[in-house]
Amino acid sequence: MIRRGKRDILGVMVDVVDYESAVDQILRAAKERRGFAATALAVHGVMTGALDPEQRFRLNELDLVVPDGQPVRWALNLLHSAQLTDRVYGPTLMLALCERCASDGIPIYLYGSNETVLARLRERLQQRFPTLKIAGSQPSRFRRITPEEKSEIVRAIRRSGAQVVFAGLGCPRQEVWAYEFRDALSMPVVAVGAAFDFHAGTVPQAPAGLQNAGLEWAYRLVQEPKRLWRRYAFLNPLYMAMVTAQGMGLKRSSGNPGTRPDHEMNYG
């Protein structure tokens, strides 16, 4: 089990962990029924924090930030000699958590995406983990919600009996959601990005070879060029340049945790 604490990548504190440690931390919080916010960050997620001081504050307030993308793992190894041999990929982490929740009798809740994806996701998870208790699910509203709606969501999740919530809202909305809902829910909130679509079978995953080479972004770009081309054309080169600058000592980002937001975004 690897658990070496948080390390700075462009001002965002990322945990040096492996799957075993991540699952252990999340399920410990579930069994203790306490708030715990976790997310799996690829380059895009790190850059939202590097470029936005309010988002950087939110990310740095989360309990667990795992290196989802290979370039994030590489940065941990380059900048901090983390010696990580594998990333902690959000979709794989979700399956590992579901397997443990099934064996330990811990009910889960699914929040995000749409009802079509959720229905297929519930079916496939039950097929894969027959003893998994899915306490409930809710689709995203794809807009900002009112304080009253937030209270309704919290009540529904808490009344369901769930002990772990998976949030599939996309980056950066899901990280904001985890930050803003953690204390109200008093249970782990795990942001897993595209895992809902992948495990529901509605979006194909990149081949393992591309994933291991850090080229998953290229596969996703081919799948969704209109939505993703600006993100990858701008953020990937900028990330590489900024990490290089940090490694050379030209950019010092530690000690700047970001700016506390003065209001909630209330994404739903």
* pLDDT exceeds cutoff 80 at 25: yes
State the residue for tokens 């397997």.
99
In the predicted model, what is the mean pLDDT of residues 2-12? 94
Amino acid at 243: V
- DSSP, collapsed to helix, strand or coil, labels residue 267 as strand
In the predicted model, what is the mean pLDDT of residues 80-86? 96
Interval 170-224: pLDDT, tens: 999 999 999 999 999 999 999 998 999 999 999 877 777 767 777 776 677 677 7
* pLDDT exceeds cutoff 70 at 263: yes
In the predicted model, what is the mean pLDDT of residues 236-257? 84
pLDDT of residue 249: 85
| 204-234 b/e (C-beta count within 10 Å ≥ 16 → b) | ebbeeebbeebebbeebbeeeeeeeeebbee
pLDDT of residue 218: 67
Interval 109-160: pLDDT, tens: 999 999 999 999 999 999 999 999 999 999 999 899 999 999 999 999 999 9
Measured CA to CA, the distance from residue 118 to residue 246 in angstroms comes to: 41
* pLDDT exceeds cutoff 60 at 254: no
